[in-house]
């Protein structure tokens, strides 16, 4: 056989840990997850998450057609070089599909490195900076009364920080309000559900919720709220101002952040802390927001933003302006992402908070993991690697089922941001 002339195929002083196989597993224990499994010639393997809600098959194709073929034979130890190869080597760089594919590889390689060395990923990163990762849960209800009761339930369960979303009078199927109070998943149908949005109704109603929550629960609990990209900068400024008396931990995604400069207007008018970035794929999406001090928390995470290898650069850059992390952690991020994020959160110096939407029992069974919840915090566990695996036999019992996220229209039919 001809000598492999690819630079990356040559080894350094350490014996290489060759990637001998990699494959994608799609499973739907209630919702779809895309998992990449990378196997080495030494028997040690790693798993990574590549789930992109409602667009799962696009990541599957990207991995199978363009990533896996170039991984075979490489030294799994060379995480940085493989990341640079997949990022710089893709002439069409960035975007949610490409960066999730890279993230899946990156998570699996950190998992392999940890297992090969017998240490948890947080140790590889530099060791723990804290005892437990503060998380926030999602309380939601159809109206103010139900939402208050849901917040009470989260407090009883030990949560110290709670996101509150409520139904808005006259608004059908508002974002963040679920039928099943324990598990929220917006991608429900094969075709996108159409929802209706009313900004005037929402702007009048939202402050009433947080007033009611402070009256009932006092000042100790941290409260968060997600606008889900629905407002203009001026409307967002109005909302931020009207919520100031209730001292939110953060107001999330007040307006789409495609134009990072737009946040200057919001910032000039309110001291309500701002969080943005669950749809960001790289530092470039957040650079202006961070260096102009237009946000307080960055919602990018190891799944959306290219794995640990890129996220730690994002966090280090953000730390220069005292912007803290607030990693996305909805149910469309598999337990593999949650596990990896918890190692990252345990290490990252400028940690803020971690979103935590519980997965269903069926999902947890498919993805056995070492992390656990106690008294409002998640703990990554000390298993080597990131500590999450996939039960392939069980995964095979839940075949892919097409589902898409909803869309939103204004009351007159105009397409809006969901
Ligand atoms: O709607 O991840 O803060 N969390 C969120 C999520 C997103 C979903 C979309 O797939 O905004 O609930
Ligand atoms: Co959000």
* Cα 103 from Cα 311, distance rounded (Å): 10
* Cα 351 from Cα 163, distance rounded (Å): 18
Which residue has the CA at smallest separation from atom 6 of ligand 1?
A: 330
* Cα 214 from Cα 204, distance rounded (Å): 17
Of 56, 332, 337, which is best to mutate to test ligand 1, by the most ligand atoms within 8 angstroms of its C-beta?
Answer: 332
> Lowest mean pLDDT: which of 84-93, 174-183, 354-363, 381-390?
174-183
pLDDT digit string, tens, across residues 172-219? 888 899 878 788 889 989 999 999 999 999 999 999 999 999 999 999
Candidate CATH numbers 3.30.390.10, 3.90.550.10, 3.10.580.10, 1.10.760.10; the one for domain 2-119? 3.30.390.10
Atom of ligand 1 nearest to the CA of 355: 3
> Lowest mean pLDDT: which of 6-20, 134-148, 303-317?
6-20
Question: Does position 10 have pLDDT exceeding 90, yes or no?
Answer: no
Which residues neighbour 189 within 8 Å (Cβ) at sequence distance 6 or greater?
A: 403, 404
Q: Within 13 A of 43's CA, how many CA atoms are on the CB side? A: 0
Longest dimension (CA), the chain: 75
Shared fold status for 2-119 and 124-384+406-416: no
pLDDT at residue number 12:
62
Q: What's the CA-to-centroid distance between 44 and ligand 2, angstroms?
A: 36
Which residue has the CA at smallest separation from atom 4 of ligand 1?
A: 330
pLDDT digit string, tens, across residues 260-299? 999 999 999 999 999 999 999 999 999 999 999 999 999 9
pLDDT digit string, tens, across residues 305-337? 999 999 999 999 999 999 999 999 999 999 999
pLDDT at residue number 1:
41
Atom of ligand 1 nearest to the CA of 330: 2
Q: What's the CA-to-centroid distance between 45 and ligand 2, angstroms?
A: 32
pLDDT at residue number 294:
98
Q: What's the CA-to-centroid distance between 227 and ligand 1, angstroms?
A: 11
* Cα 275 from Cα 252, distance rounded (Å): 5
Q: What's the CA-to-centroid distance between 356 and ligand 2, angstroms?
A: 11
pLDDT at residue number 6:
60
Question: Does position 8 have pLDDT exceeding 80, yes or no?
Answer: no
Is 363 within 8 Å of 388 (Cβ atoms)?
no
% of the chain at pLDDT higher than 70? 97
Three-state SS letters, 377-399 = EEECCCCCECCECCCHHHHCCCC
Is 18 within 8 Å of 40 (Cβ atoms)?
yes
Which residues neighbour 130 within 8 Å (Cβ) at sequence distance 6 or greater?
A: 346, 351
Question: Does position 52 have pLDDT exceeding 50, yes or no?
Answer: yes
Question: Does position 9 have pLDDT exceeding 60, yes or no?
Answer: no
Domain over 124-384+406-416 is classified CATH 3.20.20.120: yes
* Cα 44 from Cα 189, distance rounded (Å): 38
Which pLDDT band, with edges at 50, 70 and 90, does 7 fall under? low
List ligand 1's pocket residues with C-beta within 6 A.
53, 186, 226, 228, 278, 330, 332, 355, 405
Which residue has the CA at smallest separation from atom 2 of ligand 1?
A: 330
Which positions are annotated as active-site residues? 175, 228
Atom of ligand 1 nearest to the CA of 53: 10
Q: What's the CA-to-centroid distance between 224 and ligand 1, angstroms?
A: 14
pLDDT digit string, tens, across residues 214-242? 999 999 999 999 999 999 999 999 999 99
pLDDT digit string, tens, across residues 109-131? 999 999 999 999 999 999 999 99
In this structure, is the dihedral angle defined by the CA atoms of residues 264, 246, 254 and 242, taken in order, positive or negative?
negative
Residue-range domain boundaries for the chain: 2-119, 124-384+406-416
> Minimal CA–CA distance to 111: which of 48, 18, 34?
48
Which residue has the CA at smallest separation from atom 11 of ligand 1?
A: 228
In this structure, is the dihedral angle defined by the CA atoms of residues 335, 341, 346 and 347, taken in order, positive or negative?
positive
């Amino acid at each position: 056989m001809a000598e492999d002339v690819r630079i990356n195929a040559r080894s350094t002083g350490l014996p290489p840990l060759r990637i001998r196989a990699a494959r994608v597993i799609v499973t739907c224990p209630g919702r779809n997850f895309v998992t990449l499994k990378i196997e080495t010639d030494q028997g040690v393997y790693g798993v990574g998450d590549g789930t992109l809600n409602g667009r799962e098959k696009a990541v599957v194709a990207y991995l199978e057609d363009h990533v896996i073929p170039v991984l075979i034979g490489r030294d799994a130890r060379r995480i940085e070089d493989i990341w640079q190869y997949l990022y710089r080597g893709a002439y069409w760089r960035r975007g949610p599909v490409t960066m999730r594919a890279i993230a899946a590889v990156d998570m699996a390689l950190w998992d392999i490195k940890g297992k090969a060395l017998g240490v948890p990923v947080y140790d590889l990163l530099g060791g723990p900076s804290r005892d437990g990762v503060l998380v926030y849960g999602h309380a939601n209800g159809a109206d103010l009364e139900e939402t208050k009761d849901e917040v009470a339930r989260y407090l009883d369960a030990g949560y110290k920080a709670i996101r509150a979303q409520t139904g808005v009078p006259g608004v059908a199927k508002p974002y963040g309000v679920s039928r099943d109070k324990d598990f929220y998943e917006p991608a429900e149908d094969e075709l996108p559900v159409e929802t209706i949005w009313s900004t005037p109704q929402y702007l009048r109603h939202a402050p009433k919720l947080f007033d009611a929550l402070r009256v009932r629960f006092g000042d100790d609990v941290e409260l968060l709220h997600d606008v889900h990209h629905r407002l203009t900068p001026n409307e967002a400024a109005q909302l931020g101002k009207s919520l100031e008396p209730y001292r939110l931990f953060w107001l999330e995604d007040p307006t789409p952040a495609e134009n990072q400069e737009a946040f200057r207007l919001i910032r000039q008018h309110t001291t309500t802390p701002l969080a943005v970035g669950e749809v960001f794929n790289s530092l470039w999406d957040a650079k202006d927001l961070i260096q102009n001090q237009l946000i307080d928390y960055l919602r990018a995470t190891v799944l959306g933003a290219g794995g640990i290898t890129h996220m730690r650069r994002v966090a280090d850059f953000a730390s220069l302006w005292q912007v803290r992390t607030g990693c996305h952690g909805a149910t469309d991020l598999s337990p593999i992402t949650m596990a990896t994020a918890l190692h990252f959160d345990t290490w990252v110096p400028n940690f803020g908070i971690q979103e935590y939407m519980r997965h269903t029992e069926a999902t947890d069974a498919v993805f056995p993991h070492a992390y656990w919840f106690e008294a409002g915090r998640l703990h990554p566990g000390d298993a080597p690697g990131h500590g999450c695996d996939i039960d392939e036999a069980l995964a095979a019992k839940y075949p892919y089922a097409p589902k898409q996220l909803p869309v939103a229209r204004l009351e007159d039919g105009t397409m809006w941001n969901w």
